[in-house]
Amino acid sequence: MKKILGLILGLVAVIAVPAIANAGYPTDAPTLAANPLSPVVSAAVTYTASNFAPGSTVTFEITSPAASVLGNSLANASGVAVLVTTAPATAAVYALRASSISPVLSATTNVTVQAAPIVTTTTAAATTTTAAATTTTAAAGTPTIGS
């Protein structure tokens, strides 16, 4: 009976220890989203990284066409990290990555930065017509005004 009890306790320890060790470790794959997905150059954009470990530092960076770190954010208790920044100043397709070191996790997405729209203003030319008044004298000597 002691052997069976020891075997059961050993089995419980083998199953329970990894579960305790992975507490707080996300079970779903990390994701990265941009809002808006196609911002205009230099417009505000919000990057949201999900399924990271709570409390971990998440680094947001452009990986292509040229590498550039956008900033860092701490993942909240739900494993979500948010970075609000501006879109790059050049229209292009950018590869983005959100990553953490402890634990090592990363997510990627692409964002298409649009050129600023061209605004055209058309002004109609104003034409002013002034009617000239003509004064004529009637035969009786009373002035009359006509056009």
Per-residue pLDDT of the chain (147 residues; tens, 9 = 90+): 566 545 444 444 434 434 434 555 678 999 999 999 999 999 999 999 999 999 999 999 999 999 999 999 999 999 999 999 999 999 999 999 999 999 999 999 999 999 988 887 777 665 555 555 444 444 555 555 555
Whether this prediction's pTM lies above 0.85 is answered by no
Parallel/antiparallel/unpaired status of strands 81-86 and 31-35: unpaired
Q: ω before 36 within 30° of 0 (cis)?
A: yes
What 3-state class would DSSP assign to 137? strand
- Element spanning 81, H or E: strand 81-86
Residues paired with 114 in a beta bridge: 40
Structure-block tokens of residue 134: 């003509």
